[in-house]
Amino acid sequence: MQSSKIDFKQFATYSKPGPRYTSYPTAIEFSENYTMESYLRDLGQDSSPLSLYVHLPFCRSACYFCGCNVVYTSKEENKAMYLECLKKELALLKNAMDTNKPIYQLHFGGGTPTFFNAKELKILIGLLREAFPNFGENAEIACEIDPRFFEIEQMEVLKEGGFNRLSFGIQDFDTQVQNAIHRIQSFDLVEKSIQIARNFGITSINFDLIYGLPFQSLETFKQTLESCLRLNPDRFAVFNYAHVPWIKKTMRKIDETTLPQPEEKLRILEWTIEYLHQKGYKMIGMDHFAKPDDELFKSIEKGQLQRNFQGYSTQGGTQTIGIGLTSIGGGSDYYAQNYKDLMQYKEALDCHRLPFAKGIALSFDDKLRKAVIMQLMSNFKLQFEAINQQFSIDFKEYFKESLEELKPLQDAGLVIIDDNEIQVSQTGALLIRNIAMPFDAYLKKFSANQKVFSKTI
């Protein structure tokens, strides 16, 4: 992709609120109309293999850019209390479903998972393996790492527990940016953390970067990315900063006048794609990059890449079990979310109830649109006949209005639509959220002035 091919002023006009589509329907559609009774039925009936997500919510202090559900604490007793809650939740899950099904994926997210020390992580891993014993030899077992809280003892426990993928939160190395987002970590500190992981034989390391942060420019981001390459990660996740201060109060500490404009963000993204391509990484989905020998890259070549709440994955067709505060799980027919409030979460478990708060049962239309949107988001193309056969529909008739909405994007060269398929162009990949949105049946109920989603650019 060449810089001259992009009209940045034209692209900036596409910047509008829209979902990231880690699920469809999105979490905003979850409600209490989906009951505990429905959840227990769906939880127990799904015969798919398992993906486990464990949310470890605690952070010592706030990173102002963060959109995750976190609990700020420095109290050691809170971690002990939370481990006891997880023990109770795992016991309840064991009674509610078949926990002996094969496990394809386990992910520790946060918060700051490594805020838990080595002893605490060992206890947690033991509890998980007791409740869910059937980890496959090729299971993806991953943990998010904060380099500021990462020691050899923790890595030793993770390695013994079968963890084979680590994702390091880098965000940006520029000092001014780090000060503005309240996340100070030096290159030397990150380098030390990476060396610890490599010394224990971890061969799949991901770096999380964010573009669109305060005081960022193309020049400063170039320096960050060049520094990252010195550490030779196997994957990158380069996210567009979602500024939603009406949802996350800590984001109100960011001076909005210091945020880069959409044109600058597009320059950063375009340069990132070109630079990583030159260095041997390939773009995967809308925000991930991997080396050609990585499993993510192999999946997209086969058209088998999947998207879920943790980003992109090679593991499709699984039932996700969300464990811990605010965790989201789902299967072929449903999504379900735990309580977001720590006291409500704890009280439910003390009363011997799963901490389920809300969810949604997927209709036929939901499942159909989910398949379309996730195929576009993951693999940048969609064959009509595959959808026709899977759902017994006539794609062009069913999605007549959606295809009409795509025409301006087709005229702009962002998508190519013929009688058989939709193909997203190289430049269209930068706006894949916009391309997916015409297939979203729920967006029509939101007015342009409602603050619901972050901007697509």
| Res 8: pLDDT | 56
What confidence score (pLDDT) does residue 168 get?
97
pLDDT number for residue 452 = 64
Position 329 scores a pLDDT of 94
Which residue spans of the chain are classified as CATH 3.80.30.20? 26-323
Q: What is the mean pLDDT of each run of 10 residues along the chain (457 residues)?
A: 48 78 92 97 93 94 89 91 98 97 94 96 98 91 96 98 96 97 96 98 96 96 97 93 88 95 86 93 84 76 65 76 96 95 97 98 97 90 96 97 95 93 88 93 77 69
For domain 1-21+364-457, give its CATH number from 1.10.10.410, 3.30.310.220, 1.10.10.920, 1.10.1040.10: 1.10.10.920
**26-323, CATH topology level:** pyruvate-formate lyase- activating enzyme (3.80.30)
Q: Where in the chain is the domain with CATH 1.10.10.920?
A: 1-21+364-457
Identify the pLDDT of residue 305.
Answer: 67
Q: Is 255 exposed, middle or buried (0-12, 13-18, 19+ CB in 10 A)?
A: exposed
pTM, to two decimals: 0.91
Q: Please say whether the beta carbons of 30 and 16 come within 8 A.
A: no
Tell me what percent of the chain is helix, strand and coil, each rounded to the nearest 5.
45, 20, 35
Do the bridges between strand 282-284 and strand 306-308 make them parallel or antiparallel, or are there none, so unpaired? unpaired
What is the SS3 assignment for 63? coil
Residue from 49, 54, 31 nearest 322 by CA: 54
Identify the pLDDT of residue 1: 34
Among the listed residues 455, 296, 438, the one whose alpha carbon sits nearest the alpha carbon of residue 379: 296
As to burial, measured by CB atoms within 10 angstroms (0-12 exposed, 13-18 middle, 19+ buried), residue 253 is middle
